Amino acid sequence: MGELADRRAQTAGRLHELTSRLQAAESFAAGKACVYATGSFGRGEASAHSDLDLFILGKSRRDGNESLLKRLDEICIKAELIQVTRELQIPEFSGDGRYLSHYSVKDFTKTLARLEFCTFWVG
């Protein structure tokens, strides 16, 4: 197996381990939001030193102006993501979590060009 194939297999295993531990986050997001991985994890190329680049995408209300995901549920999802990444010894989120953001679909479509969008999981 080549280096890229090895990284893809390792990344898939690490993402599987991560998502298998996110039961509370999954229940908070159910039907309202999902978490996306971008960067090296999203591409399947993460190394042992890669941090997670994540964002939360919330379904919009009928008027499209607001996410269905409540702010307190968003906080709970982020808290579990932080806890589980620490348990798995994945490096801390960049910028002290600054980029671990929640977007409504409307907000997301406005910022899509600035995101390196890749992998879907959780929710």
110 bridge partner residues = none
CA dist list (Å): 54 to 2, 63, 64: 27, 26, 22
> What digits encode the pLDDT tens for the residues 6-48?
999 999 999 999 999 999 999 999 999 999 898 999 999 999 8
What's the pLDDT at 118? 47
Is it the case that residue 122 has pLDDT exceeding 80?
no
Whole-angstrom distance, CA of residue 60 vs CA of residue 82 = 25
What's the pLDDT at 60? 85
Q: How large a percentage of the chain has pLDDT more than 70?
A: 87
**Angle CA(49)–CA(15)–CA(115) in degrees, nearest 5?**
75
What's the pLDDT at 62? 79
What's the pLDDT at 66? 79
CATH 3.40.50 at 3-121, yes or no: no
Helix or strand holding residue 38 (H, E): strand 33-38
